Structure 1
Amino acid sequence: MYLPASFRQEDLAELHLQMRQSRLATLVCQGADGLVASHLPLLLEAGEGEYGTLYGHFAKANPQWRALADGAEALVVFNGPDAYVSPAWYAAKAEHGKVVPTWNYIAVHAYGQAEVFDDAERLLQLVGRLSDQHEAGRPQPWALSDAPRDYIDAMLRAIVGFALPIRRIEGKWKLGQNRSQADQAGVREGLAGSADGRDRELAQRMAPTL
Protein backbone atom coordinates (compact mmCIF):
# COMPACT_ATOMS: atom_id res chain seq x y z
CA MET A 1 0.00 0.00 0.00
CA TYR A 2 1.31 3.44 -0.89
CA LEU A 3 1.82 4.94 2.55
CA PRO A 4 3.07 8.53 2.95
CA ALA A 5 4.38 9.19 6.44
CA SER A 6 1.64 11.72 7.24
CA PHE A 7 -1.06 9.07 6.72
CA ARG A 8 0.66 6.15 8.45
CA GLN A 9 -1.16 4.61 11.43
CA GLU A 10 1.13 2.52 13.64
CA ASP A 11 -0.91 2.23 16.85
CA LEU A 12 -1.69 -1.50 17.00
CA ALA A 13 -4.72 -0.98 19.23
CA GLU A 14 -6.19 1.45 16.68
CA LEU A 15 -5.42 -0.94 13.84
CA HIS A 16 -7.12 -3.80 15.66
CA LEU A 17 -10.14 -1.64 16.46
CA GLN A 18 -10.59 -0.77 12.80
CA MET A 19 -10.21 -4.41 11.77
CA ARG A 20 -13.02 -5.35 14.15
CA GLN A 21 -15.19 -2.50 12.88
CA SER A 22 -14.70 -3.57 9.24
CA ARG A 23 -17.36 -6.24 9.16
CA LEU A 24 -16.32 -7.87 5.86
CA ALA A 25 -12.67 -8.30 4.89
CA THR A 26 -11.14 -9.11 1.49
CA LEU A 27 -8.54 -11.90 1.44
CA VAL A 28 -6.26 -11.91 -1.62
CA CYS A 29 -3.59 -14.41 -2.59
CA GLN A 30 -1.92 -15.98 -5.60
CA GLY A 31 -3.78 -19.07 -6.78
CA ALA A 32 -3.01 -21.63 -9.46
CA ASP A 33 -4.66 -19.45 -12.12
CA GLY A 34 -3.54 -16.04 -10.84
CA LEU A 35 -4.71 -13.65 -8.15
CA VAL A 36 -7.89 -14.68 -6.32
CA ALA A 37 -9.95 -12.88 -3.67
CA SER A 38 -12.73 -13.79 -1.26
CA HIS A 39 -14.89 -11.55 0.92
CA LEU A 40 -15.09 -12.95 4.44
CA PRO A 41 -16.15 -12.09 7.98
CA LEU A 42 -13.18 -12.73 10.25
CA LEU A 43 -12.33 -13.10 13.91
CA LEU A 44 -9.29 -11.30 15.31
CA GLU A 45 -7.41 -12.75 18.27
CA ALA A 46 -5.29 -9.74 19.24
CA GLY A 47 -3.22 -11.61 21.83
CA GLU A 48 -2.00 -14.37 19.50
CA GLY A 49 1.35 -13.55 17.92
CA GLU A 50 3.11 -10.22 17.47
CA TYR A 51 0.26 -8.54 15.57
CA GLY A 52 -2.64 -10.89 16.25
CA THR A 53 -4.16 -13.84 14.38
CA LEU A 54 -7.13 -13.87 12.02
CA TYR A 55 -9.62 -16.74 11.85
CA GLY A 56 -12.18 -17.46 9.16
CA HIS A 57 -13.51 -20.09 6.79
CA PHE A 58 -14.11 -20.76 3.11
CA ALA A 59 -16.71 -22.84 1.36
CA LYS A 60 -14.94 -26.11 0.58
CA ALA A 61 -15.91 -25.60 -3.06
CA ASN A 62 -13.89 -22.34 -3.11
CA PRO A 63 -10.43 -23.29 -4.48
CA GLN A 64 -8.71 -20.37 -2.76
CA TRP A 65 -8.19 -22.34 0.44
CA ARG A 66 -5.98 -24.76 -1.48
CA ALA A 67 -3.61 -21.91 -2.35
CA LEU A 68 -3.35 -21.06 1.35
CA ALA A 69 -2.78 -24.71 2.19
CA ASP A 70 0.09 -24.70 -0.32
CA GLY A 71 1.75 -21.80 1.51
CA ALA A 72 0.64 -18.76 -0.50
CA GLU A 73 1.06 -15.44 1.29
CA ALA A 74 -2.24 -13.68 1.89
CA LEU A 75 -3.14 -10.01 1.95
CA VAL A 76 -6.24 -9.21 4.00
CA VAL A 77 -7.81 -5.79 3.39
CA PHE A 78 -10.04 -4.10 5.95
CA ASN A 79 -11.82 -1.02 4.64
CA GLY A 80 -13.00 1.71 6.99
CA PRO A 81 -15.14 4.77 6.23
CA ASP A 82 -14.37 6.72 3.06
CA ALA A 83 -15.65 9.86 1.36
CA TYR A 84 -15.21 12.09 -1.66
CA VAL A 85 -13.66 15.45 -0.74
CA SER A 86 -14.84 18.47 -2.72
CA PRO A 87 -12.34 21.28 -3.38
CA ALA A 88 -15.15 23.68 -2.48
CA TRP A 89 -14.62 22.79 1.20
CA TYR A 90 -11.01 23.99 1.31
CA ALA A 91 -10.27 27.43 2.72
CA ALA A 92 -7.47 27.52 0.12
CA LYS A 93 -10.05 27.66 -2.66
CA ALA A 94 -10.96 31.24 -1.72
CA GLU A 95 -7.31 32.15 -1.20
CA HIS A 96 -5.73 31.00 -4.48
CA GLY A 97 -7.99 28.41 -6.13
CA LYS A 98 -5.19 25.85 -6.47
CA VAL A 99 -7.18 22.90 -5.19
CA VAL A 100 -8.46 19.64 -6.68
CA PRO A 101 -10.78 16.83 -5.50
CA THR A 102 -9.49 13.89 -3.50
CA TRP A 103 -10.77 10.92 -1.53
CA ASN A 104 -10.27 10.44 2.20
CA TYR A 105 -10.38 6.94 3.69
CA ILE A 106 -9.19 4.53 6.35
CA ALA A 107 -7.76 1.11 5.50
CA VAL A 108 -5.75 -1.66 7.14
CA HIS A 109 -3.68 -4.28 5.29
CA ALA A 110 -2.60 -7.46 7.10
CA TYR A 111 -0.20 -10.03 5.64
CA GLY A 112 0.64 -13.59 6.55
CA GLN A 113 0.52 -17.29 5.72
CA ALA A 114 -2.38 -19.40 6.94
CA GLU A 115 -2.85 -22.77 8.55
CA VAL A 116 -5.87 -24.52 7.00
CA PHE A 117 -7.99 -26.97 9.03
CA ASP A 118 -11.15 -29.07 8.68
CA ASP A 119 -11.43 -30.53 12.18
CA ALA A 120 -15.15 -30.57 12.99
CA GLU A 121 -14.90 -29.41 16.62
CA ARG A 122 -12.51 -26.61 15.73
CA LEU A 123 -14.81 -25.49 12.93
CA LEU A 124 -17.81 -25.65 15.25
CA GLN A 125 -16.05 -23.37 17.73
CA LEU A 126 -15.06 -20.93 14.98
CA VAL A 127 -18.52 -20.72 13.42
CA GLY A 128 -20.09 -20.38 16.86
CA ARG A 129 -17.82 -17.48 17.78
CA LEU A 130 -18.40 -15.74 14.45
CA SER A 131 -22.15 -16.10 14.89
CA ASP A 132 -22.01 -14.80 18.46
CA GLN A 133 -19.93 -11.82 17.35
CA HIS A 134 -22.47 -10.70 14.76
CA GLU A 135 -25.58 -11.66 16.72
CA ALA A 136 -24.46 -9.61 19.73
CA GLY A 137 -26.84 -6.77 20.45
CA ARG A 138 -29.86 -8.38 18.82
CA PRO A 139 -32.95 -8.68 21.06
CA GLN A 140 -33.03 -12.45 20.54
CA PRO A 141 -29.60 -13.56 19.31
CA TRP A 142 -29.49 -16.68 17.16
CA ALA A 143 -27.09 -19.41 18.31
CA LEU A 144 -25.77 -22.59 16.72
CA SER A 145 -27.76 -24.58 19.28
CA ASP A 146 -30.98 -23.25 17.69
CA ALA A 147 -30.38 -25.49 14.66
CA PRO A 148 -30.43 -29.33 14.64
CA ARG A 149 -26.95 -30.71 15.32
CA ASP A 150 -27.04 -33.06 12.34
CA TYR A 151 -27.79 -30.08 10.08
CA ILE A 152 -24.89 -28.10 11.58
CA ASP A 153 -22.58 -31.10 11.16
CA ALA A 154 -23.50 -31.28 7.46
CA MET A 155 -22.79 -27.56 7.05
CA LEU A 156 -19.41 -27.95 8.75
CA ARG A 157 -18.42 -30.64 6.25
CA ALA A 158 -18.91 -28.05 3.50
CA ILE A 159 -16.37 -25.53 4.85
CA VAL A 160 -12.65 -25.24 5.54
CA GLY A 161 -11.26 -23.08 8.32
CA PHE A 162 -8.01 -21.16 8.55
CA ALA A 163 -5.84 -19.39 11.11
CA LEU A 164 -3.67 -16.60 9.74
CA PRO A 165 -0.99 -15.18 12.08
CA ILE A 166 -0.33 -11.58 11.01
CA ARG A 167 3.33 -11.16 10.07
CA ARG A 168 3.08 -7.58 8.81
CA ILE A 169 0.44 -4.89 9.21
CA GLU A 170 -0.09 -1.46 7.64
CA GLY A 171 -2.65 1.21 8.44
CA LYS A 172 -3.52 4.24 6.34
CA TRP A 173 -5.62 7.03 7.83
CA LYS A 174 -5.86 9.45 4.86
CA LEU A 175 -7.76 12.25 6.60
CA GLY A 176 -6.21 15.38 5.14
CA GLN A 177 -3.30 15.57 7.57
CA ASN A 178 -1.21 17.09 4.75
CA ARG A 179 -3.60 20.06 4.49
CA SER A 180 -3.75 23.21 6.60
CA GLN A 181 -5.83 23.32 9.78
CA ALA A 182 -8.32 25.56 7.98
CA ASP A 183 -8.63 23.14 5.05
CA GLN A 184 -9.10 20.19 7.40
CA ALA A 185 -11.81 22.05 9.31
CA GLY A 186 -13.60 22.89 6.05
CA VAL A 187 -13.59 19.26 4.92
CA ARG A 188 -14.79 18.03 8.30
CA GLU A 189 -17.66 20.53 8.29
CA GLY A 190 -18.56 19.65 4.71
CA LEU A 191 -18.66 15.93 5.44
CA ALA A 192 -20.52 16.43 8.73
CA GLY A 193 -23.29 18.25 6.84
CA SER A 194 -23.69 15.51 4.23
CA ALA A 195 -26.88 13.48 3.89
CA ASP A 196 -24.72 10.35 3.49
CA GLY A 197 -24.05 8.59 6.78
CA ARG A 198 -20.69 7.33 5.52
CA ASP A 199 -19.54 10.93 5.00
CA ARG A 200 -20.61 11.86 8.52
CA GLU A 201 -18.81 8.85 9.95
CA LEU A 202 -15.56 9.92 8.30
CA ALA A 203 -16.04 13.48 9.61
CA GLN A 204 -16.12 12.08 13.12
CA ARG A 205 -12.91 10.15 12.50
CA MET A 206 -11.19 13.33 11.29
CA ALA A 207 -11.81 15.17 14.56
CA PRO A 208 -8.72 13.80 16.44
CA THR A 209 -6.39 15.05 13.70
CA LEU A 210 -7.38 18.71 14.15
Structure 2
Amino acid sequence: MHCPGLFREERMEVLHGLIAAYPLATLITAGRGGLMANLIPFSLHEGGDYGILRAHLARGNKQLEELCEGTEILVVFQGPESYVTPSWYPSKTEHGKVVPTWNFVMVQVRGDARVIKDSGWILAQLEQLTNNREREREYPWKVSDAPEYFIEAQLKGLVGIEISIRSIEGKWKISQNRLSVDHQGVIDGLRAEGGCPAMVALMEQR
Protein backbone atom coordinates (compact mmCIF):
# COMPACT_ATOMS: atom_id res chain seq x y z
CA MET A 1 0.00 0.00 0.00
CA HIS A 2 1.31 3.45 -0.90
CA CYS A 3 1.29 5.32 2.40
CA PRO A 4 3.37 8.47 3.00
CA GLY A 5 4.47 8.76 6.63
CA LEU A 6 2.08 11.65 7.31
CA PHE A 7 -0.90 9.39 6.63
CA ARG A 8 0.37 6.28 8.43
CA GLU A 9 -1.69 5.07 11.40
CA GLU A 10 0.04 2.59 13.71
CA ARG A 11 -1.97 2.70 16.95
CA MET A 12 -3.35 -0.80 17.36
CA GLU A 13 -6.48 0.36 19.19
CA VAL A 14 -7.31 2.69 16.30
CA LEU A 15 -6.71 0.02 13.65
CA HIS A 16 -8.78 -2.52 15.56
CA GLY A 17 -11.45 0.10 16.14
CA LEU A 18 -11.94 0.58 12.41
CA ILE A 19 -12.15 -3.18 11.83
CA ALA A 20 -14.83 -3.47 14.53
CA ALA A 21 -16.80 -0.50 13.21
CA TYR A 22 -16.55 -1.47 9.51
CA PRO A 23 -16.38 -5.30 9.48
CA LEU A 24 -17.43 -5.80 5.84
CA ALA A 25 -14.06 -6.17 4.12
CA THR A 26 -12.63 -7.26 0.79
CA LEU A 27 -10.92 -10.65 1.03
CA ILE A 28 -8.31 -10.91 -1.72
CA THR A 29 -6.37 -14.02 -2.72
CA ALA A 30 -3.84 -14.65 -5.48
CA GLY A 31 -3.64 -18.38 -6.05
CA ARG A 32 -3.55 -20.72 -9.03
CA GLY A 33 -6.96 -19.47 -10.11
CA GLY A 34 -5.67 -15.91 -10.34
CA LEU A 35 -6.79 -12.92 -8.35
CA MET A 36 -10.07 -13.32 -6.48
CA ALA A 37 -11.93 -10.83 -4.29
CA ASN A 38 -15.08 -11.13 -2.20
CA LEU A 39 -16.81 -8.86 0.30
CA ILE A 40 -16.92 -10.78 3.58
CA PRO A 41 -18.03 -9.65 7.08
CA PHE A 42 -15.38 -10.41 9.71
CA SER A 43 -15.30 -10.53 13.48
CA LEU A 44 -12.13 -9.52 15.35
CA HIS A 45 -10.78 -11.55 18.28
CA GLU A 46 -7.79 -11.39 20.61
CA GLY A 47 -4.79 -13.57 19.92
CA GLY A 48 -1.27 -13.42 18.56
CA ASP A 49 0.57 -10.14 18.13
CA TYR A 50 -2.07 -8.32 16.09
CA GLY A 51 -5.32 -10.21 16.61
CA ILE A 52 -7.35 -12.86 14.81
CA LEU A 53 -10.05 -12.48 12.15
CA ARG A 54 -12.91 -14.94 11.81
CA ALA A 55 -15.50 -15.25 9.07
CA HIS A 56 -17.60 -17.70 7.12
CA LEU A 57 -17.95 -18.38 3.41
CA ALA A 58 -20.43 -20.35 1.34
CA ARG A 59 -19.19 -23.84 0.54
CA GLY A 60 -19.64 -23.07 -3.15
CA ASN A 61 -17.31 -20.07 -3.00
CA LYS A 62 -14.36 -20.83 -5.31
CA GLN A 63 -12.09 -18.73 -3.11
CA LEU A 64 -12.19 -21.55 -0.56
CA GLU A 65 -10.00 -23.63 -2.87
CA GLU A 66 -7.35 -20.91 -2.75
CA LEU A 67 -7.60 -20.66 1.03
CA CYS A 68 -7.19 -24.42 1.44
CA GLU A 69 -4.01 -24.27 -0.65
CA GLY A 70 -2.48 -21.67 1.65
CA THR A 71 -2.41 -18.81 -0.84
CA GLU A 72 -1.37 -15.33 0.25
CA ILE A 73 -4.24 -13.35 1.79
CA LEU A 74 -4.98 -9.64 1.89
CA VAL A 75 -8.02 -8.27 3.72
CA VAL A 76 -8.95 -4.63 3.14
CA PHE A 77 -11.21 -2.74 5.56
CA GLN A 78 -12.42 0.69 4.48
CA GLY A 79 -13.97 3.27 6.76
CA PRO A 80 -15.42 6.74 6.09
CA GLU A 81 -14.56 8.45 2.80
CA SER A 82 -15.38 11.82 1.25
CA TYR A 83 -14.63 13.74 -1.91
CA VAL A 84 -12.84 17.01 -1.17
CA THR A 85 -13.39 19.97 -3.50
CA PRO A 86 -10.69 22.66 -3.78
CA SER A 87 -13.46 25.19 -3.20
CA TRP A 88 -13.35 24.35 0.51
CA TYR A 89 -9.72 25.50 0.85
CA PRO A 90 -9.42 29.16 1.94
CA SER A 91 -5.89 29.10 0.48
CA LYS A 92 -7.45 28.74 -2.99
CA THR A 93 -8.16 32.47 -3.03
CA GLU A 94 -4.53 33.25 -2.24
CA HIS A 95 -2.65 31.25 -4.89
CA GLY A 96 -5.08 28.90 -6.66
CA LYS A 97 -2.60 26.01 -6.42
CA VAL A 98 -5.14 23.41 -5.27
CA VAL A 99 -6.70 20.30 -6.78
CA PRO A 100 -9.53 17.93 -5.85
CA THR A 101 -8.74 14.93 -3.68
CA TRP A 102 -10.38 12.21 -1.64
CA ASN A 103 -10.21 11.70 2.10
CA PHE A 104 -10.45 8.14 3.41
CA VAL A 105 -9.32 5.72 6.07
CA MET A 106 -8.43 2.08 5.55
CA VAL A 107 -6.76 -0.90 7.16
CA GLN A 108 -4.96 -3.66 5.28
CA VAL A 109 -4.36 -7.02 6.93
CA ARG A 110 -2.19 -9.92 5.79
CA GLY A 111 -2.10 -13.31 7.40
CA ASP A 112 -2.45 -17.06 7.22
CA ALA A 113 -5.88 -18.66 6.91
CA ARG A 114 -7.20 -21.84 8.46
CA VAL A 115 -10.34 -23.38 6.95
CA ILE A 116 -12.77 -24.72 9.56
CA LYS A 117 -15.66 -27.09 8.89
CA ASP A 118 -16.83 -27.57 12.48
CA SER A 119 -20.50 -26.50 12.70
CA GLY A 120 -20.16 -25.48 16.36
CA TRP A 121 -17.31 -23.10 15.52
CA ILE A 122 -19.23 -21.62 12.58
CA LEU A 123 -22.34 -21.14 14.72
CA ALA A 124 -20.29 -19.31 17.37
CA GLN A 125 -18.81 -17.02 14.69
CA LEU A 126 -22.28 -16.28 13.31
CA GLU A 127 -23.53 -15.43 16.79
CA GLN A 128 -20.53 -13.19 17.49
CA LEU A 129 -20.93 -11.34 14.19
CA THR A 130 -24.68 -10.94 14.66
CA ASN A 131 -24.41 -9.78 18.27
CA ASN A 132 -21.81 -7.18 17.31
CA ARG A 133 -24.23 -5.56 14.85
CA GLU A 134 -27.49 -6.06 16.73
CA ARG A 135 -26.52 -4.94 20.24
CA GLU A 136 -27.29 -1.28 19.62
CA ARG A 137 -30.83 -2.03 18.45
CA GLU A 138 -33.77 -1.62 20.82
CA TYR A 139 -34.85 -5.21 20.18
CA PRO A 140 -31.72 -7.14 19.11
CA TRP A 141 -32.20 -10.15 16.89
CA LYS A 142 -30.35 -13.32 17.91
CA VAL A 143 -29.44 -16.35 15.84
CA SER A 144 -31.43 -18.45 18.30
CA ASP A 145 -34.58 -16.50 17.34
CA ALA A 146 -34.70 -18.52 14.12
CA PRO A 147 -35.93 -22.14 14.19
CA GLU A 148 -33.17 -24.56 15.13
CA TYR A 149 -33.75 -26.79 12.08
CA PHE A 150 -33.45 -23.73 9.83
CA ILE A 151 -30.12 -22.68 11.34
CA GLU A 152 -28.79 -26.24 11.10
CA ALA A 153 -29.64 -26.29 7.39
CA GLN A 154 -27.87 -22.96 6.87
CA LEU A 155 -24.75 -24.19 8.67
CA LYS A 156 -24.40 -27.11 6.24
CA GLY A 157 -23.78 -24.62 3.45
CA LEU A 158 -21.06 -22.68 5.25
CA VAL A 159 -17.35 -23.05 5.99
CA GLY A 160 -15.43 -21.02 8.56
CA ILE A 161 -12.09 -19.30 8.13
CA GLU A 162 -9.71 -17.99 10.77
CA ILE A 163 -6.89 -15.61 9.86
CA SER A 164 -4.00 -15.03 12.25
CA ILE A 165 -2.94 -11.47 11.47
CA ARG A 166 0.71 -11.40 10.44
CA SER A 167 0.88 -7.71 9.53
CA ILE A 168 -1.51 -4.76 9.74
CA GLU A 169 -1.26 -1.32 8.13
CA GLY A 170 -3.47 1.74 8.44
CA LYS A 171 -3.81 4.79 6.20
CA TRP A 172 -5.66 7.83 7.54
CA LYS A 173 -5.79 10.46 4.76
CA ILE A 174 -7.90 13.20 6.34
CA SER A 175 -6.38 16.49 5.16
CA GLN A 176 -3.58 16.45 7.73
CA ASN A 177 -1.22 17.47 4.91
CA ARG A 178 -3.07 20.76 4.52
CA LEU A 179 -2.70 24.04 6.39
CA SER A 180 -4.88 24.20 9.49
CA VAL A 181 -7.13 26.75 7.80
CA ASP A 182 -7.69 24.37 4.86
CA HIS A 183 -8.24 21.44 7.21
CA GLN A 184 -10.96 23.41 8.96
CA GLY A 185 -12.32 24.50 5.59
CA VAL A 186 -12.90 20.87 4.64
CA ILE A 187 -14.71 20.23 7.92
CA ASP A 188 -16.91 23.29 7.40
CA GLY A 189 -17.56 22.33 3.78
CA LEU A 190 -18.58 18.79 4.64
CA ARG A 191 -20.94 20.07 7.30
CA ALA A 192 -22.47 22.74 5.06
CA GLU A 193 -23.09 20.34 2.18
CA GLY A 194 -24.29 17.38 4.25
CA GLY A 195 -21.12 15.36 3.82
CA CYS A 196 -20.08 12.24 5.73
CA PRO A 197 -20.52 12.90 9.49
CA ALA A 198 -18.09 10.10 10.32
CA MET A 199 -15.38 11.81 8.27
CA VAL A 200 -16.06 15.10 10.03
CA ALA A 201 -15.71 13.35 13.40
CA LEU A 202 -12.38 11.80 12.36
CA MET A 203 -11.01 15.10 11.14
CA GLU A 204 -11.98 16.85 14.36
CA GLN A 205 -10.05 14.27 16.37
CA ARG A 206 -6.73 15.13 14.67
Q: Give TM class, smaller chain.
A: over 0.9
Please tell me the residue identity of whatever aligns with 2:32.
A
1:193 aligns with 2:161: no
Is contact 1:192-1:204 (8 Å) kept? no
The DSSP-based 3-state class of the residue aligned with 2:91 is helix
Partner of 1:67: 66
Please tell me the residue identity of whatever aligns with 2:52.
T
The DSSP-based 3-state class of the residue aligned with 1:139 is coil
Distance 2:80 2:103 in 1: 8
Partner of 1:28: 28
Compute the displacement of 1:138 (Å): 2.0
CA offsets per residue over residues 141-198 of structure 1, 9 Å max, x none?
22222222222111111011011011011100001111111111111111122223x2
Partner of 1:181: 180
Alignment of 1:135-146 (within 5 A): 135-146=134-145
Is contact 1:26-1:37 (8 Å) kept? yes
Partner of 2:203: 206
The DSSP-based 3-state class of the residue aligned with 2:99 is coil
TM-score w.r.t. structure 2 length?
Answer: 0.96
Residues matched between the structures, number: 206
Partner of 1:121: 120
Compute the displacement of 1:139 (Å): 2.4
Partner of 2:89: 90
Distance 1:135 1:204 in 2: 23
Distance 2:121 2:44 in 1: 16
Compute the displacement of 1:201 (Å): 2.0
Distance 1:160 1:32 in 2: 21
Distance 2:84 2:186 in 1: 7
Is contact 2:29-2:66 (8 Å) kept? yes
Structure 1: segments with no counterpart, 5+ residues: none
After TM superposition, which residue ranges in structure 1, 4 or more long, deviate above 4 angstroms? none
Distance 1:132 1:80 in 2: 20
Compute the displacement of 1:65 (Å): 1.5
Please tell me the residue identity of whatever aligns with 1:44.
L
More deviation, 104-113/31-40: 31-40
Compute the displacement of 1:133 (Å): 1.5
Please tell me the residue identity of whatever aligns with 1:40.
I
Structure 2: segments with no counterpart, 5+ residues: none
